[in-house]
Structure formats: C-alpha cells, structure tokens
C-alpha cells in the first residue's frame, strides 16, 4: 500500500531535518569530504546561464491559466531575461577589463545586472511552484499556521498583497528570513527589491504579463487561478531545505 501524501511530505521534512543535523555534525568534526559531496558547486562570477529552465509541468493542463499564456510568459518574459542577463554579463567583463570605463557607466550595467538576475531567479521559483493541485498538505499547513496563527490568515494576507499589486508590477513571496528566523509574506515592487536574507518558499508573479492574456485587468481572477495550481510538493521541499 502506498504511503498517504501527507505522510510522505512529513517523512520528507523529517528526513531533511535529519540530513541537516548530520551535516552539522560533520562540519563540527571538520569532515570536509562529506560536505564537498553534499553541497552544490559554486559557479564563477560573470558566468552566464544560456538555456531556459524547462517547465516541470504540462502547461496545457493547468486550471484557469492557458497554455498560450504560460508558454508566452516562459519564453518571452523569463526567456528574455535569461538572454539579457547573458548579454549584460558579457558587457560587464568587457567594461571591467577597460580601465577607462567610467564608474557611472559600470554602475548602470550593475543595476541592470541586479534587475535581470532578480527576474531570472523569481521566474524560476514561480514556474517551479506551479503545476500542482492547489491543495496544501497537512505538514505545510501546520508550518504556515504556526507562523501566522492560522493557514487562512496567511492566505488572506498573501492574496491581499497580490491584489494591491494588481494592474502594475511586482511579486508576492512567502519566505523564510534566515536573520530574523521568521516565516513571512513579502511585497516586492520589482525584480530588484527582494527581502534581505530571505529564502523564497512560494512565489507569485504579479506583473501584468503573468495574467493579462487570460484575464485582462482582472488580477483577482488570476490570483484565484494561481492558488488552484500551486505545486505544494515543491513548497514542502523548500520548507524542508530551510
């Protein structure tokens, strides 16, 4: 008999916690070979991402979000930022090598670097937490309820932030702040304004390009559709990771 999904999630969260404990012990013992095998490799500065991260779901099977919308969003908005970031990094390496590059010119490139990096990262989080049933499991509900008093309180605030961003730009992020040790919802005006020391757990795109093709200016209907398609298994894995 297969394990109930909630039990699977709970097992995953417990396993992740155990892994963290093991790694912590290994670090204390200076067991560097173990850490080397379990940590992600660090990429060189200025290295460019050249390919789009594939969608982990069939965009034709979402509820209330059309395949046309998702494919356009993924290819043109996310894909456009991936390509732009690669170009910007190339210009940065050239500008840095040129001792005559004025600081204000270099800083203009760094501003664009910040914006495009945010766009790529937040879009990848966003698409990765789509493609599910929209039904949160008991473990995720419990973690969120512990932080907000109730799951409904969290959802009410998350939706309200999104509604406030409707008709403009920005992101709504449920994140864990590693400095304050709090799970909170954050309002982001654009790609450049992520909360400090915060790991995203659930990301909702509120730029008009994420819903206009399906809903026009009716942002509230898009928010409803977003909630119907949340991939809570992905959220659970992010919770486990922090």
**143-196 pLDDT, tens digit each:** 999 999 999 999 999 999 999 999 999 999 999 999 999 999 999 999 998 999
Per-residue pLDDT for 217 more than 90?
yes
Per-residue pLDDT for 229 more than 80?
yes
Residues 17 and 112 occupy one common structural domain:
no
Residues 19 and 106 occupy one common structural domain:
no
**Residue pLDDT, tens place only, 100-116:** 999 999 999 999 999 99
* Per-residue confidence (pLDDT) for residue 9, from 0 to 100: 52
Angle of helix 79-97 relative to helix 103-128, nearest 10 degrees, comes to 150
Residues 172 and 225 occupy one common structural domain:
yes
Which residues constitute the domain of residue 30? 5-36
The CATH number given to whatever domain includes residue 105 is 3.55.40.20
| Two tokens, residue 177 | 């702040």
Closest CA to 209 of 185, 228, 190, 186: 190
| Two tokens, residue 129 | 């937490």
Residues 10 and 129 occupy one common structural domain:
no
Report the side by side order of strands in the sheet with 171-177. 182-188, 171-177, 198-205
* Per-residue confidence (pLDDT) for residue 129, from 0 to 100: 98
Q: Mean pLDDT over all residues of the chain?
A: 88
Residues 69 and 162 occupy one common structural domain:
yes
| Two tokens, residue 154 | 């969290």
* Per-residue confidence (pLDDT) for residue 17, from 0 to 100: 40
In a domain, 55, yes or no: no
Q: Is the pLDDT higher at 4 or at 208?
A: 208
Closest CA to 242 of 197, 178, 185: 178
Please give the Cα distance from 45 to 31 (Å, whole number): 27
Residues 19 and 123 occupy one common structural domain:
no
Average pLDDT over residues 93-97: 98
Please answer whether residues 165 and 206 qualify as being in contact, where contact means their C-beta atoms are separated by less than 8 angstroms: yes
In a domain, 90, yes or no: yes
Query: Which residue matches tokens 């969290």?
Result: 154
Per-residue pLDDT for 14 more than 70?
no
Q: Phi then psi for 203, rounded to 5 degrees?
A: -125, 130
Measured CA to CA in angstroms, residue 219 lies from 107, 167, 212 at distances of 35, 7, 8
* Per-residue confidence (pLDDT) for residue 30, from 0 to 100: 39
* Per-residue confidence (pLDDT) for residue 42, from 0 to 100: 87
Task: Please state the pTM of the whole predicted model.
Answer: 0.84
% of the chain residues with pLDDT over 70: 83
Structurally, the chain folds into a number of domains equal to 2
Residues 217 and 148 occupy one common structural domain:
yes
In a domain, 59, yes or no: no
DSSP 74: I
């Amino acid at each position: 008999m297969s394990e109930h999904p909630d039990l699977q999630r709970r097992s995953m969260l417990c396993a992740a916690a155990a892994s963290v404990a093991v790694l912590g012990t290994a670090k204390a013992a200076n067991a560097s070979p173990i850490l080397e095998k379990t940590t992600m490799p660090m990429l060189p500065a200025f290295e460019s991402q050249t390919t789009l991260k594939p969608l982990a779901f069939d965009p034709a099977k979402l509820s209330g979000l059309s395949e046309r919308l998702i494919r356009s969003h993924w290819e043109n908005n996310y894909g456009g930022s991936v390509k732009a970031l690669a170009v910007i990094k190339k210009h940065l390496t050239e500008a840095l090598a040129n001792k005559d590059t004025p600081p204000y010119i270099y800083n203009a490139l760094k501003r664009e670097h910040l914006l495009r990096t945010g766009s790529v990262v937040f879009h990848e989080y966003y698409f990765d937490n789509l493609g599910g049933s929209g039904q949160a499991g008991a473990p995720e509900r419990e973690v969120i309820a512990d932080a907000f008093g109730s799951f409904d309180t969290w959802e009410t605030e998350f939706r309200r932030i999104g509604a406030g961003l409707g008709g403009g730009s920005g992101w709504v992020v449920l994140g864990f702040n590693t400095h304050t040790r709090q799970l909170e919802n954050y309002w982001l005006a654009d790609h450049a304004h992520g909360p400090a020391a915060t790991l995203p757990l659930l990301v909702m795109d509120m730029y008009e390009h994420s819903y206009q093709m399906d809903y026009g200016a009716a942002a509230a209907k898009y928010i409803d559709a977003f909630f119907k398609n949340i991939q809570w298994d992905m959220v659970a894995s992010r919770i486990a990771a922090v």
